[in-house]
Amino acid sequence: MYKVTFNDKEITVQTESSLFSPKEADRGTLAMLSHVEFSKEDKVLDLGCGCGIVSLAAAAFGVDPGNIVLTDVDMLAVKTAEKNMKANGFNGAVFVSGDALTNVPGSDFDLILSNPPYHTDFKVAKTFIEKGFNRLKIGGRMFMVTKRKDWYKNKLIAIFGGVKIYEDDGYFVFEAQKRSATYAGKKKK
């Protein structure tokens, strides 16, 4: 268990030793969150939610928990995130387990936030970016954080047509906005 503060609200986080960053909030995730402005009306997808830090932050900043969807391939992560949201008084979020966005209900997300596994190949990140693009509404934004720059920069530009990159605490935070219904590299028919 550890505590983290978002929007002057102290959040208690329970976690499991097998989950990502079990002893404290991940510095990369915190770096990413420092660049996100949440609006109360946002529809948020926490992609690869782990113990739920991103969703806890969104709810602490006023996003209606009923507009938050948390997903992870690891069922233990999803159950832990659900416990954390409820323990901190954030009720109504949707929790799903599945590969990438497979079981995620709906689309038209305002924000998709992810700290993808980047110490392996790029297959997971590629899926997150491509499928995430399709789930954002026009004007919606995807935020990702990694320690690698070039591949993510190039992939996000290829799909979104552009990307803002912030360097923060040894991490690269990427912000890409969906400006059209088709990938930037695809011609409209």
Report the CATH number that the domain containing residue 77 is assigned in CATH. Answer: 3.40.50.150
Strand partners, 94: 69
Contact assessment for residue 147 and residue 171, using Cβ atoms and an 8 Å cutoff = yes
Mean pLDDT, the chain, whole residue set: 94
pTM over 0.75: yes
21 belongs to a structural domain: no
Residues 6+ apart with CB under 8 A from 94: 68, 69, 70, 105
Residue 97 has pLDDT above 90, yes or no: yes
Q: Look-up: residue for tokens 């969703």?
A: 55
Residue 182 has pLDDT above 60, yes or no: yes
C-alpha 116/C-alpha 125 separation (Å) is 6
96 belongs to a structural domain: yes
Q: Is the four-CA dihedral 153, 115, 64, 95 of positive or negative sign?
A: positive
Mean pLDDT computed over 44-57: 97
DSSP label at residue 117: -
Domain count, the chain: 1
Q: 132: domain range? A: 27-177
185 belongs to a structural domain: no
C-alpha 121/C-alpha 80 separation (Å) is 26
1 belongs to a structural domain: no
17 belongs to a structural domain: no
Share of the chain above pLDDT 70, in %: 96
DSSP state letters, 11-23: EEE---TTSSS-S
Q: Look-up: residue for tokens 């990702």?
A: 144
117 belongs to a structural domain: yes
